[in-house]
Structure 1
Amino acid sequence: MDTVLLEYADPYFFDSFYGKILSSQLLSNSTLGPKLLETVGTWTPDNTYRQFLSIFILVTLGGWFFYLATACFSYYFIYDHDMMKHPKFLKNQVRLELECALSSIPGFSVLTVPWFLGEVKGYSLLYADSPKTMYDWVYLIASLPVFLFFTDMGIYWIHRFLHHPLFYKPLHKLHHKWIVPTPFASHAFHPLDGYLQSVPYHLYAYLIPMYKWSYLGMFVFVNIWTVLIHDGEFFLHSDFINSTAHHTVHHLYFNYNYGQYFTFWDKLGGSHRRPTSEQYDKTLSKDVKVWAQQSKEADSIEGEDSVKAKKYFN
């Protein structure tokens, strides 16, 4: 991904950033300033330290931008605000989700930099040549569902293992604090949790050739999809797509629907729970009796620490 971004960011931003901003009067007058300036002055665009820092800045700023832009749009124009009356909706939850996500994104970023740095150094199988022949176009188009299938498989198993007692409390439980999530919960993870679930995306680029612009586009799509499955609006009634309704079931009842895009792996792994009229019927989805029953079941699961191993691997 950052092979594309650095190609444009270096001449239009980072050359100036390292040449001027780091040589500011404040830095020059500091104790470490002259030594740091001397070091940074040797950083050419292909310097590994410069690339590492540049990628970290790009991923962090990009992560904040895409998260806030997509989540804000979804929250104000799609999200059903009546769900904030649900008894499992926390006090000041939107603020808590925002604080968690914004503070975690730099952690996601620094952990993922080595993958992106490898791409920039040419170790991945991303390719830059535009499609020219019919075969090139067929391969490019076919690579998109293959990417989704591969990453969905990886995320399913990583997500499922994150619900195991060994990993749930220290890593994944934070995300399940949001039993009735808003779009701002989409990136409200423990940094290591968020990183682990991103590994299949990075691994794909090192295993299967993919056009670099397609790869970048899929990363944008991934971030949008992650927000949309937390928006509480159930436009899609599908037994094949792991839709918002399926992911709502996951947050309410914990032990089901670990997939990201499809229900295939949940069905194969025995963890699929089909959404019902609780989600699809607008009257029932806001019924206080339904909410009370959902809260009772969620409390029961929480009372068992949410993670009895026999529920996941029987």
Structure 2
Amino acid sequence: MNGVVVDAIPSTNSMLLQISVATKGLPCYSIVPTISDFMIQSGWTRCFVRMSDVSWPAYLVYLMVYLVSVEFMIYWVHRELHDIKPLYKYLHATHHIYNKQNTLSPFAGLAFHPLDGVLQALPHVIALFLVPMHFKTHIFLVFLELLWTVNIHDCINAKLWPVMGAGYHTVHHITYCHNYGHFTIWMDWMFGTLCYPTEDDESKNM
């Protein structure tokens, strides 16, 4: 079938289940941006509204520090969701029932236990208390988070180093103990959990 391995295509039932799980979690997921917006509006965070409040060099430095902070925190939240057995059993296992190419799809990117989804989004909020951050940039990055988590579950490896693409994340779903990172592979490289996709992994997705 045009070079596509049929067994690597998610079934309709798998995708419908993922859509159902994701839909049930959406109200809970919306709590994080709602609360963060309230805290920003109340002046509790280090968020700033106008780009003119800081210089461009300062903005770029803050952005880099923010991204590194979020990357670090998401790595450890995700890793502990695996390492702490009750957290895995009662929260993260909901997402990891999709552990093969023929069960992974973009819909799996949002198919979490609601509390699991909240925990993995919290670093974006926590970082606002640590690093000065432009409000609209923060909102854009939260939106990018949504697109990203969908993208890394489509099993298509774009091979764009050092991006933590779908190839790496598919390995994570298969091995359970590698590639906990977020946008990049740096944290996995630093903490010894990086596992590169192999040619065999990629051939299964062709």
TM category (shorter chain) comes to: 0.7 to 0.9
| Residue 207 (structure 1) aligns with | 130
Aligned match of 2:195 in 265, 273, 282? Answer: 273
Q: Do structure 1's residue 151 and structure 2's residue 70 form an aligned pair?
A: yes
In structure 2, distance between residues paired with 1:176 and 1:226: 14
Aligned match of 2:38 in 95, 117, 134? Answer: 117
Q: CA RMSD in A?
A: 2.2
In structure 2, distance between residues paired with 1:83 and 1:140: 46
Q: Cα distance 1:216–1:286, how it changes in 2: closer, same or farther (>3 A)?
A: closer
Q: Which amino acid aligns with 1:157?
A: W
Bigger relative contact order (CA 8 A; separation at least 6): 2
Q: How far 1:154 moved relative to its partner?
A: 0.2
| Residue 90 (structure 2) aligns with | 170
What is the CA deviation profile of residues 179-229 of structure 1, one whole-angstrom value per residue up to 9, with x for unaligned ones?
231011111100110111111100111111111111112112221111111
Q: How far 1:254 moved relative to its partner?
A: 1.1
Q: How far 1:176 moved relative to its partner?
A: 0.5
In structure 2, distance between residues paired with 1:121 and 1:245: 41
Tell me the TM-score normalized by structure 2: 0.87
Q: Cα distance 1:177–1:270, how it changes in 2: closer, same or farther (>3 A)?
A: same
Q: How far 1:91 moved relative to its partner?
A: 6.2
Q: How far 1:285 moved relative to its partner?
A: 2.1
Conservation of the 8 A alpha-carbon contact between 2:156 and 2:205: no
In structure 2, distance between residues paired with 1:221 and 1:286: 25
In structure 1, distance between residues paired with 2:6 and 2:111: 17
Larger Rg: 1
Q: Do structure 1's residue 131 and structure 2's residue 83 form an aligned pair?
A: no
In structure 1, distance between residues paired with 2:26 and 2:204: 32
Q: Cα distance 1:223–1:178, how it changes in 2: closer, same or farther (>3 A)?
A: same
- Residue pairs, 1:138-287, within 5 angstroms: 138-164=57-83, 165-179=85-99, 180=101, 181-238=104-161, 240-280=162-202, 284-286=203-205
- Residue pairs, 1:3-82, within 5 angstroms: 82=4
Q: Which amino acid aligns with 1:158?
A: V
In structure 2, distance between residues paired with 1:257 and 1:167: 18
Q: Cα distance 1:237–1:115, how it changes in 2: closer, same or farther (>3 A)?
A: closer
Q: Cα distance 1:93–1:83, how it changes in 2: closer, same or farther (>3 A)?
A: farther
Q: Do structure 1's residue 96 and structure 2's residue 55 form an aligned pair?
A: no
Conservation of the 8 A alpha-carbon contact between 1:155 and 1:200: yes
Tell me the TM-score normalized by structure 1: 0.59
In structure 2, distance between residues paired with 1:148 and 1:208: 10
1 or 2, which has the higher helix percentage? 1
Q: Which amino acid aligns with 1:205?
A: L
Aligned match of 1:105 in 18, 22, 26? Answer: 26
Unaligned stretches of 5+ in structure 1? 1-80, 288-314
Conservation of the 8 A alpha-carbon contact between 2:8 and 2:204: no
Q: Bigger shift: 98-107 or 266-275?
A: 266-275
Q: 2:153 aligns to what SS in structure 1?
A: coil
In structure 2, distance between residues paired with 1:236 and 1:270: 20
Q: Cα distance 1:141–1:152, how it changes in 2: closer, same or farther (>3 A)?
A: same
In structure 1, distance between residues paired with 2:41 and 2:5: 44
